Structure 1
Amino acid sequence: MTNRSTGKCPFSIVYTKMPNIVLDIAALPKSQSKAASTLADQFTSLLFDVRFKLEESNMQYKLKADAHRREKIFHPGELVYVRLRREWLPPGNHSKLTKKKWGPYPISKRINNNAYVVDLPAKFTTSHTFNVADIYSYVPPDDSSINIESVDTDSS
């Protein structure tokens, strides 16, 4: 059965052909035999093709995974919401309907693109260092008010 990533049967990659002969090419010294050198060259080209296919397959997997990712970079002083799991919340009654995102709180320090220190209040007994996946941008509400006027129509 052929592998989706390599396009070849795993046994044929490892053993250069279907299970009749087990031959370790690495143990072959420079040989005078034309058949042995041809087999070694075929095996080398096979390994090169497999390596190329695997790299190509990994690149396709990476492109598909990166399509769902977003890069988030925050700066110190920026206001953010923090997602706190139930275990990280202060002691008390918390149900599954308790809010998940808390804030807005300022970022006090950037460790790297993946970790930030958030200035949380003292009531939270958790670490103040968060992964970027648990941090959400704060968007202040608009100052403009929305006026909705009802329109009365006479319909007979």
Structure 2
Amino acid sequence: MLSDVRQQIITSNAKYKEDVDKHRRQCRFSVGDLVWVRLRRERFAPSTYSNLARRKIGPVPIIAKINDNAYTVTLPPDCMTSPTFNVSDIWPYSPPDDGVITIISSESSSSDPGGD
């Protein structure tokens, strides 16, 4: 009976893992990659976190890989928190496009001096 229960638990846990892995975001970084880092309220000492503070810092380089789940990054000197982050708080940095951005505004077209 105990072996049947143990087998049922193993089967159930395998199904739970399969369901959770469908929604898991796999990110693997290497040393030198540029990333965005999310700063959570829990990382700061009480009364030092501001709701108006930046939520993400970046791009910052990864300087060390602890394991597949934790990385150490280079933070700005004014950031008084640990430089080691979980992979759930790190996003890959992608540079902006080199394309031309044009802003079309109705105000600029109506204020043309020759547009009578």
Q: Which runs of 4+ in 1 moved over 6 A?
A: none
Deviations 1:2-25 (A, max 9, x none): xxxxxxxxxxxxxxxxxxxxxxxx
Equivalent position of 1:88 in the other structure: 44
RMSD: 2.4
What is the rounded CA distance, in whole Å, between the counterparts of 2:20 and 2:96 in structure 1?
A: 33
| Unaligned segments of structure 2, at least 5 residues | 105-116
Kindly state the Cα deviation for residue 47 of structure 1 after the two structures are TM-superposed: 2.2
Offset, 1:88: 2.9
Change (3 A) 1:135 1:147: same
The alignment status of 1:120 with 2:79, answered yes or no, reads: no
Structure 1: which amino acid aligns with 2:44? W
The equivalent of 1:24 in structure 2 is none
Q: Does 1:68 align with 2:55?
A: no
Encode CA deviations 1:37-85: one digit per residue, 9 max, x unaligned.
xxxxxxxxx2222222111111101111111112211111111111112
How many residue pairs were aligned? 103
Unaligned stretches of 5+ residues in structure 1: 1-45, 150-156
In the alignment, is the contact (CA less than 8 A) between 1:88 and 1:124 conserved in 2?
no
How far residue 121 of structure 1 moved from its aligned partner, in angstroms, is 1.3
CA distance change for structure 1 residues 148 and 92 in 2, over 3 Å: closer, same or farther? same
Higher strand content, 1 or 2: 2
Percent identical pairs in the alignment equals 49
Give the number of the structure whose residues are more often helix, by fraction: 1
- Relative contact order, higher structure (CA 8 A, sep 6+): 2
**Alignment partner, residue 133 of structure 1:** 88
After TM superposition, the score normalised by the length of structure 2 is 0.75
